[in-house]
Amino acid sequence: MVLLPRSGSSSLIASASNTIAPCPPYRRPYVPNPSLKGIFAGSGSASMSNPYIARAVIELTQRPPQDVSLLYIGTASYDINKFRDKQTDLFSKMGVTVESLNLANQYVPKEEMEEAVDKADIILVSGGNTLYAVDRWEYLGLDELLRGAAHRGKVMAGGSAGAICWFDGGHSDSRDPDTYRLSMLNQFEGNADPSSESNGQNNEDDGNSKDWEYIRVEGLGIWPGLVCPHYDRIQSNGVLRMTDFDSMMKRHPHELGIGIDHHAALEVDGDEFRILSIPGQTGSVNLEDADGKGRAPGAWIKYVDDDGTVHSKICPRSGKVTDLLQMLEDPQKHLLLDEEVELCRKENPL
């Protein structure tokens, strides 16, 4: 099924000679609006509660923390307070003014949403069910407000669903019934630990895997690409995300994939990018060529060649966004809809 793309990304013509991944005729290098900036993490809970990542988010505003206003949007986790506190408490302690825009369980007039977005220097989106969040924003009209805010230079941030939502789409656990609205509201009325964006996230398969599959969901299309958060992690279905992401890339071979480890983040500031790794954490990037052994958190670029083979390249620690990201030349032809999305919408309605 062909998907009519959301209008978010914009690009000028650029040379494909320096791109990190090959640039075939159906893609072109992405030249961003120089005002666009954001930090997109593999895990929102792990990253936004870490001083290294939180400071990086604040620094993108080019203001001292006491002069910064952060708007937290917890739609993907159904505005549950525990998830908000996990991701915003550190910002508050650093002096940032934190406000919330609660949309998941109530109607909010567009004027109120517009005022909240306009006041913010940072817009932080929670982890959770990406499909529900983006659909809800479109229903209420927040999607266009967020696109406008990004192009006016506000810092867009988040992890997991809060990373996927800013891009064309992503590798999502929105099909997991434990991330559905009623299930989440019932579970977290108690004292459950909100340490992960979705209830079933694990490092290893414990032998009690649940029967659900990852799906490709749409984002706002502010930046191009297909994002896979928690790239080095296994969730409650027992499937390693990096492995399943390869299968998804084969089903969506025209898109460029970006895998972000659980403890890593992609920072974008105009046409500059860098990969942030939380100190002391492990990931999927082999350190045999560095000082020491083991694996560090990082990011990967994925693409499918003409023979249908998926290729993976370690993302450089820093560089030009123009060399990193690529746009589809004809999204109406090459951006495809996951057929499981409609079923998921029926099971987890707005």
pLDDT of residue 18: 87
Per-residue confidence band for 205, with pLDDT thresholds at 50, 70 and 90: very low
Q: How far apart are CA 125 and CA 140, in angstroms?
A: 16
Q: pLDDT of 24-66, one tens digit each?
A: 999 999 999 999 999 999 999 999 999 999 999 999 999 999 9
> Which tokens belong to 254?
């025209």
Phi, psi dihedrals of residue 191, rounded to the nearest 5°: -115, 35
> Which tokens belong to 89?
């408490």
* Residue 149 · residue 99 · CB < 8 Å: no
Where in the chain does DSSP place strands (E)? Answer: 27-29, 37-41, 69-73, 97-100, 122-125, 155-159, 167-172, 215-218, 223-228, 257-260, 264-269, 272-277, 285-286, 295-296, 299-304, 310-314, 318-320, 326-328
- The model carries a pTM of 0.91
Return the minimum-mean-pLDDT range out of 8-22, 145-159, 285-299: 8-22
In order, the DSSP letters of 82-139 are HHHHHHHHHHHHTT-EEEE---SSS---HHHHHHHHHH-SEEEE-SS-HHHHHHHHHH
Give the list of residues 6+ apart from residue 24 with CB closer than 8 angstroms, or none. 306
Q: How far apart are CA 216 and CA 107, in angstroms?
A: 27
How far is Cα of residue 198 from the mean position of the Cα atoms in its chain?
14
Q: What is the CA radius of gyration of the chain?
A: 19
Report the share of the chain in percent with pLDDT over 70: 88
